[in-house]
A and B are shown apart, each in its own frame.
Chain A
Amino acid sequence: AQKVTQAQTEISVVEKEDVTLDCVYETRDTTYYLFWYKQPPSGELVFLIRRNSFDEQNEISGRYSWNFQKSTSSFNFTITASQVVDSAVYFCALRLYNQGGKLIFGQGTELSVKP
């Protein structure tokens, strides 16, 4: 069965600290896609990044970086020098090539960045 686990329910950091949000996924499929979404307190879901299963290159976008490791089935998200505006719930999601459009979401990690 397919599953996404975000073991950290809540994380609290002080501004300017680095923080890593963990995501572990389970699937026997060889072709799949991984995503991160951000849900700020206002409630909308904002797309952050997509990764294909055959592309293990890590990615950096400003203060955000993502580490994809197929060997450990992990797709972790790091925020460098966190800011108060980063406070949100972050969701990792999996979509299988052979399962159409269904996104399988993790339970989310609530990040609180304090000034």
Chain B
Amino acid sequence: DAGVIQSPRHEVTEMGQEVTLRCKPISGHDYLFWYRQTMMRGLELLIYFNNNVPIDDSGMPEDRFSAKMPNASFSTLKIQPSEPRDSAVYFCASSPTLRDQPQHFGDGTRLSIL
């Protein structure tokens, strides 16, 4: 079975550029999550969707960050304009339901903003 697929795996770009991270959840999973991992803050939830609808975006750091889920098999996380402090590993995860179901994570996108 295909797991959560993220692209790109690595992204290096200059400050001020727009960055778009992509995620394909596991087929049949109704929930999609975006997390960010940094040394300082560890793993933190940015936003999650249920059936393509954003449910909780309280973790999105600021207006420069936006996320969309146009259909059940695709989501994007966009940063515009990017800043060096956005450098982190961004993970996408999906789960069939909430509660006791585990979230299955993609391999992550390692983002470096110069």
Contact = CB atoms under 8 A, between A and B. Distances in A.
Given A100-B56, A101-B33, A47 B104 contact: yes
A104 B44 CA distance: 7
B106 interface: yes
A45 B91 contact: yes
A50 B89 CA distance: 24
Contacts of B102: 35, 47, 50
Main SS of the interface on chain B? strand
A34 to B, nearest CB: 10
Contact of B43 (A43, A44, A101, A105): A105
B56 A43 contact: no
B100 A108 contact: no
Give the size category of B's interface with A.
Answer: 20 to 34
Given A43-B108, A45-B105, A107 B100 contact: no
A101 B56 contact: yes
Interface residues of A, number: 23
A43 B90 CA distance: 11
A70 interface: no
B111 to A, nearest CB: 13
Nearest to B89: A43
A97 B89 contact: no
Given A101-B95, A102-B48, 14 more contacts: A37-B105, A43-B108, A44-B105, A45-B93, A45-B105, A45-B108, A50-B101, A97-B99, A100-B55, A100-B98, A101-B98, A103-B33, A103-B35, A106-B42
27 contacts: A33-B99, A42-B107, A43-B107, A43-B108, A43-B110, A44-B106, A44-B107, A45-B93, A45-B108, A47-B102, A47-B103, A47-B105, A50-B102, A52-B100, A100-B55, A101-B31, A101-B45, A101-B48, A101-B55, A101-B56, A101-B98, A101-B103, A102-B56, A102-B59, A103-B43, A105-B42, A106-B42
Interface of A: 33, 35, 37, 42-47, 50, 52, 91, 93, 95, 97, 100-103, 105-108
